Structures are given as C-alpha cells and as structure tokens.
Amino acid sequence: MSEGVPLENVHVAVQEGKEPVGLVPGDAASATWKVDVRIVVSDDGELDLRGPAVHGKRGERFLYLTWGDVGADGSFAMFRRAKLMVADIDSNLLAQAAEPETGAAAEGGGLSVEIDLTDRKGCPLCARVRPPTASWSLTS
C-alpha cells in the first residue's frame, strides 16, 4: 500500500531525467540494468560522473532506482525511490575503471554494483544506498 492505496503491479526502474527506464516487476528474482555513465576528469583533476541517469551535484552524484505501480494503461505512479550513491564509489576503483589504457572501459567493461532491492522488512529499498549495502566492482 502507498498512502492507503493498494499497489497491484509494482515495478522498479532506473530513472533517467524524470522517466523510469527498464521496468522490472517488483517480485522478479533479479534485475539488471545497463546504464550509460561516463567518467570525466574535472578542471581540478578530480573524477566526476555524467550521464542521462546521473543526478545530483558534483561530489554528491547518484542514480535513482524508482519504485512505482504500473497501471493498465502503462502509466507509472512512483511511490518510492532509492538514491544509489555513485559519489561513494571507492576512488581507487573509480580510477581503475577510468584508466584509458588499461581500465575496465578500455576493455569494453565498466563498473557494476550489486544490491538487495528489499530492505530488512521486505519492503522496496529506499533512501540513500551506500557501501556496504551497495557492493561495487570492475567488470570486463
């Protein structure tokens, strides 16, 4: 239920801008999304993250995982969101991924994250999601 209204077709998605992308049923055994996130070097030499699904200001970047009820007409009524804090990715891991000659991106890979989409009570995960709840790794 959300605000006293029963939820009948719960889905979770990554949010690009204001739109949910890659809807997955809330009761699916697993969910996978490929998200375009670019690692850029700022004027001060610090690594930053950019892309259509990246939200927040520099140093506080995150990806939204948005939970909603999908109507018969395909509409998506968001009732909860989680902020997957990409700003909390270990800086050494981020630097390894960004390395142009030997990094994961140079080999066609990147970063991946593993999280449990439900909280301790079995409800949709919400609020800020940080390590150790989010486990980041390099992919190839």
C-alpha 24/C-alpha 44 separation (Å) is 39
Is 139 inside any structural domain? no
In a domain, 85, yes or no: yes
Q: Name the nearest CA neighbour of 123 among 63, 82, 70, 73.
A: 82
Range of the domain at 90: 10-129
In the chain, the N- to C-terminal Cα span, in Å, equals 40
Number of domains comprising the chain: 1
Q: Residue 26 falls within a domain, yes or no?
A: yes
Q: One-letter amino acid identity for 29?
A: A
Q: What is the mean pLDDT of residues 30-40?
A: 92
Two structure tokens written together for 125: 């995960």
Q: How confident is the model at residue 52 (pLDDT cuts 50, 70, 90)?
A: very high
pTM assigned to the model:
0.87
State yes or no: pLDDT of 1 exceeds 60: no
Quote the percentage of the chain above a pLDDT of 90. Answer: 66
- Position 138 in a domain: no
Element (H, E) at 33: none
Specify if 29 maps to a domain. yes
Q: How confident is the model at residue 4 (pLDDT cuts 50, 70, 90)?
A: low
Helix, strand or coil, per DSSP, at residue 78: strand
Q: State percent of the chain over pLDDT 70.
A: 89
Q: Domain for residue 101, yes or no? A: yes
pLDDT at 34 over 70: yes
Handedness of CA 132, 44, 107, 31 (dihedral sign): positive
Contacts of 75 (CB under 8 A, 6+ apart): none
Residue 134 forms part of a structural domain: no
Indicate if the pLDDT at residue 22 is higher than 60: yes
Q: Which residue has the higher pLDDT, 1 or 138?
A: 138
Nearest residue to 37 (alpha-carbon basis) of 102, 110, 114: 110
Whether residue 36 is contained in a domain is answered as yes
Residue 97 — pLDDT band, cuts 50, 70, 90? confident
